[in-house]
Amino acid sequence: MASQLLESAGVQAQPGKDNKKSIGWRALPFLALAQFMVVLDGTIVNLALPRLQLEMGISDSTRSWVVTAYALVFGAFLLLGGRISDFWGRKRTFITASAGFAVASLIGGLAQQPWELIGARALQGIFAALLAPAALALLTVAFPGGKDRGTAFAIFGSISGVGAAAGVLLGGFLTEFVSWRWCFFVNVPIAIIALIGVWTLVSESKAGGSTKYDWPGVVLAALGLGSLVYGFANAEHGWDAIESWGFIAAGVILLVLFVAVERKVKNPLLPLRVATERNRGAAFLASFLAGAVLIGGILFINFYLQIVLGFAPFAAGIASLPMTVVLIVTAGLVAKNLPRLGARIPSALGPVFMAAAMLWLTQVTPDGTYTVNMLPALILMGVGLGMVFVPMQNLALFGVDKDDAGVASALVNASQQIGGSLGIALFSTIAASATAAVGGGTLAALTSGYSLVFLWAAAVAILIAPIALLLIRIDRKTFSGTGDKPQVHLG
């Protein structure tokens, strides 16, 4: 996957000219493979859910936690994972996390009870929270600046969209022709390949200075994010229920306390300078909203394909393939032209395509067809995701001190994963409420719920455009690393 994006971006590694640069390009596919795996696992079980739910006797209210448990734990512990990567060593963290992710995946594939499966998903999330920031921090060290950095980060960033989309296809194939359990087992060889590649090619790096952990920040961040997602997930009981507003309110209070603590402690889990620079802030907000649309929206696209249109799992995966193909092509074109485009233009235009895709999907009907109701939206979604994800990884690490590379990497991943878990929770609640209002589990009622979800997803997607236009002020030369004297325009 990474090699295809390298070729489409016009990259030709030349080992003879610069050995260090050559090692970076050789390591990039393995670092990208790890990112591909952790993003893949956010969606690979989506198409397996109907069959998995039936075989394991999982209730409708518990079903979404097979997806949410991974995204929630991943997002809640990413900041800690980023700091562990910085302090303990990025290569060491990567290797340990790869091995742990493989073991957690093996446990998930062998699970016999719903709690075992959900527990394995949470364990995957913990190791993903170590793996993702370590991979991106190692990439930061391998490409410290210049045009190569821009191209490498554009390729790496596009992996987020490709991995999520590819998870749908692979999950459908494995569920129909092998077993849904292979949605977990498939991670074992991927993790081993990434581990071996980084072990043999990458040198160790870590932050200097104090390596004291901010444990109050760790607790407040994890509990705050967990409470917020849990509250949204329980909103199906009614927004006035304590299980909903109580946990949402607690989450907001805990996160406010987290910010207060981070302003005071000497070694914060999240140095606020990382998050408050306006260009990086735009990347984090955009990643949060894009994660909600991508992870939450794709889940209901798959429900419509399988439950309403009656597609088998693999057929549903094939049906989603146009989005993946268009995303790869778009990502390659944007990556190749990123020095001329800069970050602002694609970041503002991409959400328009994403919102248009979701608005098209609001017209789904019980007797709809794939060609009319789904295909145009999938193409539009692929274009939009390719335009949004390419600049985000680079922008998120713009101007970050090398000692903060891990935590900055964690924050952009955390933004996407927490956005995804909140998106799933919120959209599931909206769909359940709309379905119940129409009249239960009929196809007409289900479709009504899906349509309302897509409308909300469109509204979330379009919010990214003004964020990009108002906050991104870095000029093209600085962004691409071609300026002689980098200048960031803040006006």
Q: What is the tens place of the pLDDT at every residue in 188-209?
A: 999 999 999 999 988 888 776 6
Contacts 24+ apart (CB under 8 A), 279-282: 279/343, 279/395, 279/398, 279/399, 279/471, 279/472, 279/473, 279/474, 279/488, 280/395, 280/396, 280/397, 280/398, 280/399, 280/400, 280/408, 281/471, 282/347, 282/395, 282/467, 282/468, 282/471, 282/472
CATH homologous superfamily, domain 18-213+267-480: MFS general substrate transporter like domains (1.20.1250.20)
342 phi-psi bin (left φ>0, alpha ψ -120 to 50, beta other): left
Which segments of 89-145 does DSSP mark as H helices, in order? 90-110, 114-142
Q: What is the pLDDT of residue 480?
A: 59
Q: What is the pLDDT of residue 487?
A: 35
Phi–psi pair at 322, nearest 5 degrees = -55, -35
399 phi-psi bin (left φ>0, alpha ψ -120 to 50, beta other): left
Q: What is the pLDDT of residue 431?
A: 86
Q: What is the pLDDT of residue 257?
A: 95
In the chain, domain spans: 18-213+267-480, 214-266
Interatomic CA distance for residues 147 and 154, integer angstroms: 11
- The DSSP call for residue 74 is H
Q: What is the pLDDT of residue 117?
A: 92
For the chain, list residues with pLDDT below 50.
Answer: 2-17, 482-491
Q: What is the pTM of this model?
A: 0.75
Q: What is the pLDDT of residue 154?
A: 67
Interior CA angle at 185 toward 154 and 180, to 5°? 100
Q: What is the tens place of the pLDDT at every residue in 92-134?
A: 999 999 999 999 999 999 988 888 999 999 999 999 989 988 8
Q: What is the pLDDT of residue 266?
A: 83
Interatomic CA distance for residues 386 and 162, integer angstroms: 8
Interior CA angle at 230 toward 256 and 169, to 5°? 115
Q: What is the pLDDT of residue 466?
A: 93
Q: What is the pLDDT of residue 11?
A: 43
